[in-house]
Amino acid sequence: MKPEAIPLNIKVILIGSPLFYLVLSSDEDFRELFKVKVDFDSEMPRNQENIRKYVSFVSGICEEKDVHCFDQTGLAGIIEYGSRLAGNQKKLSTRFGDVREVIYESIARAKSDRSETVRMVHVKKAVNDRNYRFNRLEEKIQEEIADRRIIIDTTGITVGQINGLFIIQTGGYTFGLPSRITAITHVGHGGVVNIERETEMSGNIHSKGVLTLAGYLGGKFAQDKPLGLTAQITFEQLYDGVEGDSASSAELYAIISSLAGVGIRQCLAVTGSVDQRGEIQPIGGVNEKIEGFFDVCQTAGLTGDQGVIIPASNTINLMLKDEVIEAVAQGRFNIYAINDIEEGLEILTGIPAGKMDADGNYPDGSIYDCVNKKLQGFNTALESVTRKNAGV
């Protein structure tokens, strides 16, 4: 039975993700009906005008629901949450659905406390409660780390081992965790061997990052001799695959440590991409990564030596939880922002990396001097084997 047509003159606005639009646009009827596409950014500048818009947004919800008003501290809490969502100190998130939910939960918290206004403390409790509802997997993994079923060292010094950092996304919740990265180096022609790639557990971006390491090592140490080594690197106890290049600097530190025979401080974790020239590049999820390692250290006991090394270009993205900020201010936890590999090496080992002189040599006792001598020994061993096989 076909219904009778009725006159209708309306405009339909469809809101969705770019992926949703891409899928639907394969339908000709959809393209005919929705001819105009507008992209909206997920963030906006944190300026006075947009802060006023945030305040108006909060006030509008309070008036609409006829509920508690936010005082200045409460409004500041919502604005800080907006910057945390955006992951940038100079931005505010336009994910107003998430912001609205925190506003509602903050109001409920204020009612529970019988407060006449919604204050900063209520906003923070709302955000913490929201995270608590999503963080079951995070708590399970943190528990396994605490019980040593997942081995993460936060004390001591180890050669060829470093704490890298990665993030896990589960629905609307993202959290960071450390992962033990190890490197073994020996005589050979294999170059840098990515065990994850060999076992088909490495994504394309991660594989590219590992290949970049060979370029750095060749540029530093193979200008006058072959790079006669095999270096095997892997993420220990990580079985779901690896993607992204944010751990490439940590992988390079582990290789250099193994070559130099110099131990790395296990109280530190590292995140940051590296290019072939050794410059540290920005990464995503810096807040979650710092907080993930902080939680591990806090469970084990903060010593004042523990901390995270991040790219200097990521400092603008720091929107950390209060516990971390307080621990850093009190000297119980550290955050180091670096620009290049050499800076990180000195923090991790306490020994200068060393700069090459005009004759192509590094200062005695420096890390790069130790690496250079080890590679010279590898080449001597390879030449000896070659001569022996040739019957010379």
Task: List residues with catalytic annotation.
Answer: 246, 289
Q: Please report the DSSP string for 201-253 in residue order.
A: -B-HHHHHHHHHHHHHHHHHH-SSS---EEEEEEETT--S-B--STTHHHHHH
Distance of CA 144 to the CA centre of its chain: 21
What residues contact 364, with CB distance under 8 A and at least 6 apart? Answer: none
Q: How many residues belong to the chain? A: 392
Asked if residues 249 and 273 have their Cβ atoms less than 8 Å apart, the reply is yes
Q: Which among 155, 44, 84, 109 has a CA at the least distance from the CA of 322?
A: 84
Asked if residues 350 and 365 have their Cβ atoms less than 8 Å apart, the reply is no
Asked if residues 150 and 183 have their Cβ atoms less than 8 Å apart, the reply is no
Q: What is the C-alpha to C-alpha distance for residues 160 and 13, in angstroms, rounded to an integer?
A: 56
Q: Which among 308, 337, 340 has a CA at the least distance from the CA of 216?
A: 340
Q: Looking up tokens 């992951």, which residue turns up? A: 87
**Tokens at 364, concatenated:** 């005695």
Q: What is the C-alpha to C-alpha distance for residues 157 and 161, in angstroms, rounded to an integer?
A: 9
